[in-house]
Structure 1
Amino acid sequence: MAPPTGKRVKGVQIFRPFVYGTTAQPFDEKTNPKPPGIPDDHTHSWTVFVKGIDDVDITYWLRRVQFKLHESIPNHVRMIEGEKGKPFQIHETGWGEFEIAIKLYYVPESAEKPQTLYHHLRLHPYGRTEAEKEAMRLNGNQVISWAYEEQIFNEPYEPFYEILTSGAIPPSIPASALKAASSPSASSGFSFQGKSQKEIRDRERELGFAPRTEGGVLERSAMIPLTNRPGQPFSRETEQLEIKKLKEAAVKVEEMMRKLKEEVQKKEKLLKELKEENAKG
């Protein structure tokens, strides 16, 4: 951890969404053939990762990630350095499930201590019902066990605050081209900062870059996708569905509490009557 520089920005809290977890797939001659040299008892290939929501770059705040695997795996502690636009990930094969320790190391400007997450490798779908188990599967019989998380930076130091708030950018535009094309001093006089998503998409087309996916997110922002897409199960749509489930569950719990209260009142009434009858006798 680098020594603190500058002052902390008081009263400020900044968060950045990201995803971590594992994706596993059983070996199969047609869909996932076992590579040469893999032990006979290995039944699955799997990947553990940390990446940005909607696959946007997160290396501006996350410098490296350490994955601590099961001790039976050769070189079971792996350190992955950040590469812009790429997830932090490792690929392995095996036959058993175990807990993986994921340690996050932030960029030096943050002066923040590393934080550790824990994730259970899933090789087989799980759930209370077959529908829940099926929900874990993707095309190709992959088993996904992913978690949505939000990294919170409380009162960041000034240099890190500047990095975090330097301005959201369209992920389809390279940073070097963006700097030249969106600078207020550029010949066009256009700046992406403060512009609406429509204005940004229009400017992307003018610059010759492919417009970003509709409903996607901007890099260096706290945005999440508007809707679910293949390979992107976390979105505002998912959030609304979860909120709906929570509301429905709350209604069920309230109804259960009402019935339980009625049962308690009936038993209390019966107990009172029995005591009165016993006193008379």
Structure 2
Amino acid sequence: VQVNLELGHRATYRKKPTPEGFTHDWSVFVRGPEGNNAAHFIDKVVFHLHESFPKPKRAVKEPPYEVSESGYAGFLLPIDVYFKNKEEPRKLHFQYDLFLYTDMPVNNIRPERLTFNNPSEEFRRRLIKGGGVSFTYLDIQYSR
């Protein structure tokens, strides 16, 4: 079963920095593409913010899977996506580049296509409900 996810972020440059010196407001997210509800197969998303943030490990258990903060610099942001799956894979790890611009807003989306080979019937149903597409051996043969 193949299913699509979107990792992304939005960021805006503040007209005036905060007292802490933060120059940007930003939000980072994990979601299904438009019209697809990833909550059918995602259990939780853990965002590992830079260690300078209070409580840098942020777990989001319900949609929207999103964290919003203010800061002054971009950083590499590890993201763990946990699935409603009793078998492996139970989670996937992504490295996300949360970059910032000073001269314009950021609206970035990174598409990810995930393939689950031979998922359990229960997890397969969850993936299909969340917008996944099932491919059988015959589908692959005819598509060549």
Query: Which residue in the other structure is 1:145 paired with?
Result: 108
Q: Which runs of 5+ in 2 are unaligned?
A: 134-144
TM-score normalised to structure 1 length: 0.43
Q: 1:110 to 1:62 in 2, by over 3 A?
A: farther
Match of 1:117 among 74, 89, 94: 94
CA distance in 2, matches of 1:103, 1:163: 19
CA displacement at 1:164 relative to structure 2: 3.0
> Secondary structure at 2:124's aligned position in 1?
helix
Distance (whole Å) between structure 2 residues aligned to residue 75 and residue 55 of structure 1: 32
Shift of 1:61: 0.8
- C-alpha contact (below 8 Å) 1:61/1:164 kept by paired residues: yes
The AA in structure 2 aligned to 1:117 is F
Question: Equivalent residues in 2 for 1:209-224 (5 A)?
Answer: 220-222=131-133
The answer on whether the counterparts of 1:66 and 1:78 sit within 8 Å (CA) in structure 2 is yes
Q: In structure 2, what is the equivalent of residue 79 of structure 1? A: 59
Contact 1:15/1:152, CA 8 A, preserved across alignment: yes
Supply the distance in 1 between the matched residues of 2:125 and 2:35 (Cα, whole angstroms).
22
Give 2:117's aligned residue.
154
Following TM superposition, by how much is the alpha carbon of 1:152 offset from its aligned partner in structure 2, in angstroms? 1.4
Q: Which structure has more helix as a fraction of its residues?
A: 1
Q: Which has the higher contact order (CA 8 A, sep 6+)?
A: 2
* Distance in 2, Cα, partners of 1:41 & 1:80: 27
Residues 3, 127 of structure 2: 8 Å contact kept: no
Work out whether residues 62 and 105 of structure 1, in 8 Å CA contact, stay in contact via their aligned partners in 2: yes
Out of 6, 17, 27, which is 2:14 matched to? 27
How far apart, CA to CA, are the structure 2 residues paired with 1:121 and 1:163? 29
User: Is the counterpart of residue 90 in structure 1 residue 1 in structure 2?
Assistant: no
Whole-angstrom distance in 1 between the partners of 2:23 and 2:46: 25
The reply on whether 1:53 has 2:33 as its aligned counterpart is yes
- What residue in structure 2 maps to residue 101 of structure 1? 78
Give the deviation of 1:96 after TM superposition: 1.0
- Greater CA radius of gyration, 1 or 2? 1
Question: What secondary structure, in the 3-state scheme, does the structure 2 residue paired with 1:162 have?
Answer: helix
Residues 116-165 of structure 1: CA deviation (Å, up to 9, x unaligned): 0001111117xxxxxxxxxxx9xxx4212320111211110122223334
Distance in structure 2 (CA, Å) of the matches to 1:22 and 1:92: 11
- Please give the TM-score of this superposition, normalised by the length of structure 2: 0.81
2:42 to 59, 62, 71: 62
Q: Tell me the amino acid that sits aligned with residue 120 of structure 1.
A: D
Aligned-partner Cα distance in 2 for 1:117–1:153 = 16
Q: Which runs of 4+ in 1 moved over 4 A?
A: none
Give the structure with the higher percent strand: 2
Q: How does 1:189-268 map to 2 (within 5 A)?
A: 220-222=131-133
CA distance in 1 between partners of 2:64 and 2:87 (Å): 20
The count of aligned residue pairs is 133
Q: Give the alignment's Cα RMSD to 1 decimal.
A: 2.2
Change (3 A) 1:91 1:62: same
SS of 2:39 mapped into structure 1: coil
